[in-house]
Chain A
Amino acid sequence: MLAEIFLVARKDLRVERRAKIALGQVAPLALLILMVFAFALDANTSLLERGAGGLYWLAVLYGGTLLIQRSFDVETDDGNMDALRMSAIGMPSLFLGKALALFVQITVLELILGPGILLLYNVGVVDWVLLIAAAIAGTVAFSVCGVLWGAMSAGLRVRATLLPLLLVPVLAPVLLAGSRAFETALGVRAGAGWTWAGLMFVIAAVHTALGLGAFGFLLEEG
């Protein structure tokens, strides 16, 4: 199973490395969102500092949604979904492989956005361990939710507009928990940062279990 997971993830990352959508288009766009907020709120620096965590995750949500969309576009393009259905790759492996590739891409996006908020929003990190744990938890949650809901909309003509509509309500708790955990890690708000990070891990675990069970059905009947 591990070999199949890495096979799928390697393929997705190789496609992405060639296409350069994540680095060439999505990351600059997400950075631009951070910059727009910085310009819009720069008269109120305290508001900018307080909102840094939330604006960071908002940019991740926007960029991540584009990456999830792209991850399924390459499968629906030229009938590749049929080839995947005909392959010997198990559906749980396919789910985890695509989630792993998305995890890597969203992590790269976050590594670019991270210095962005430190620089543009004038905030500093007071708890690196919490910050990294929250970022990992949020990224795992984004990835598994993205693959699960991406598969649900993959075969549909209206998928470009439907995916964000399905995804945003599901990811809203991740967005909230990520913002709260980051606020604690950035020293903006004292609070239960670890509890919020834990909540993201729980959301990720629930969606992983759902994905392992439902992904095959979604792909087959989609």
Chain B
Amino acid sequence: MSAVVEFEGVVCVAGSFPVLTGLDLRVDRGEILHVQGENGAGKTSLLRACAGLISVSSGKASVLGFDMRVDRKAPRRHIGLLGHENNLYRDLEVSKHVEFRAASVGARASDTAAALEKVRFPQQLWSVPIGSLSAGQRRKVAIASLLVGRPQLWLLDEPHAALDTESRKNLDAILIEASASGATIIFVSHESPVTKEIASRVITMDGGRITEDSGAG
């Protein structure tokens, strides 16, 4: 198996506060990794370090074969990140927003319809401004915006938040399908009963490092 994420003794600092404190992690291609832990354990920082949005102060870090200490921007175009926020322009219409996201990562704007259908977003709302949607609908648009770029590495922070039961099941099916086609998925979630069925591995974090790994040994 080829490693998509390879961290050895990674330390990341936000301001003067260490958010990752000597983290060791290897994630292989096609894995669905569930990251859990208490608030402030470093879960979101792990995702942002994988995305190259925070710099690695020490240790070895490689994502999709790129050395993150040399160029942390290099792998970004192959990564899809969905954080706590949805990264949506509230004044844009749904389809125009997804088209923009597609074009901004070099994907085809024509894939927009397929992405919105995949998240089961109602077609009658495609021309509605995002600001007038419900929280769950906005989350679906955010997921479609990520899907349309066909990322090799998915980094998801509480992806099920605001989604109803059916939409959660649909999202799980999307993640399993993406993983089967070779994408690697790392997701943070506090909803263990919901997510344990799809995760191929679970890690628990505390104090900026991994304290438990279901795949260890």
Q: Which residues of A contact B (CB under 8 A)?
A: 7, 11, 14-16, 18-19, 74, 77-80, 82-89, 220
B84, B86, B93, B103: the one within 8 Å of A7 (CB): B103
B53: Cβ under 8 A from any A Cβ: yes
Cα distance A85–B91 in the bound complex, in angstroms: 20
Encoded as 1 (CB less than 8 Å from any A CB) or 0, chain B from 62 to 104 comes to: 0000000000010011011101111111111100100011011
* A to B CB contacts below 8 Å, 10 in the list: A11-B92, A15-B89, A18-B92, A78-B85, A78-B86, A82-B87, A83-B87, A87-B76, A87-B101, A88-B77
Q: Is the CB of A78 within 8 A of B90?
A: yes
A74, A82, A83: the one within 8 Å of B91 (CB): A74
Number of interchain pairs (Cβ within 8 Å): 69
Encoded as 1 (CB less than 8 Å from any A CB) or 0, chain B from 90 to 125 comes to: 111100100011011110000000000000000000
Q: Is the CB of A86 within 8 A of B91?
A: no
B173 to chain A, nearest CB (A): 24
Given A85-B53, A88-B106, are A19 and B91 neighbors across the interface (CB < 8 Å)?
yes
Cα distance A85–B48 in the bound complex, in angstroms: 12
A25 to chain B, nearest CB (A): 14
B79, B89, B104: the one within 8 Å of A74 (CB): B89
Q: Is the CB of B87 within 8 A of A80?
A: yes
| B residues in contact with A15, CB < 8 Å | 89, 91-92
Q: Is the CB of B90 within 8 A of A77?
A: yes
A83 to chain B, nearest CB (A): 4
Q: Is the CB of B81 within 8 A of A11?
A: no
Q: Is the CB of B83 within 8 A of A79?
A: yes
Cα distance A83–B129 in the bound complex, in angstroms: 19
A72 to chain B, nearest CB (A): 13
A80, A82, A85: the one within 8 Å of B89 (CB): A80
Cα distance A84–B106 in the bound complex, in angstroms: 13
Cα distance A14–B73 in the bound complex, in angstroms: 28
| A residues in contact with B10, CB < 8 Å | none
| A residues in contact with B93, CB < 8 Å | 18
Q: Is the CB of A80 within 8 A of B104?
A: no
- Which A residue's beta carbon lies closest to that of B100? A11
B51: Cβ under 8 A from any A Cβ: yes
Q: Is the CB of B89 within 8 A of A86?
A: no
| A residues in contact with B145, CB < 8 Å | 83
Given A87-B105, A89-B104, are A82 and B81 neighbors across the interface (CB < 8 Å)?
yes
Q: Is the CB of A14 within 8 A of B96?
A: yes
| B residues in contact with A220, CB < 8 Å | 73
| B residues in contact with A85, CB < 8 Å | 53, 73, 76
B108 to chain A, nearest CB (A): 13
B190 to chain A, nearest CB (A): 19
A24 to chain B, nearest CB (A): 12
Given A18-B129, A82-B81, are A11 and B89 neighbors across the interface (CB < 8 Å)?
yes
A11, A80, A89: the one within 8 Å of B88 (CB): A80
Q: Is the CB of A82 within 8 A of B83?
A: yes
| B residues in contact with A18, CB < 8 Å | 91-93, 129
- Which B residue's beta carbon lies closest to that of A91? B73
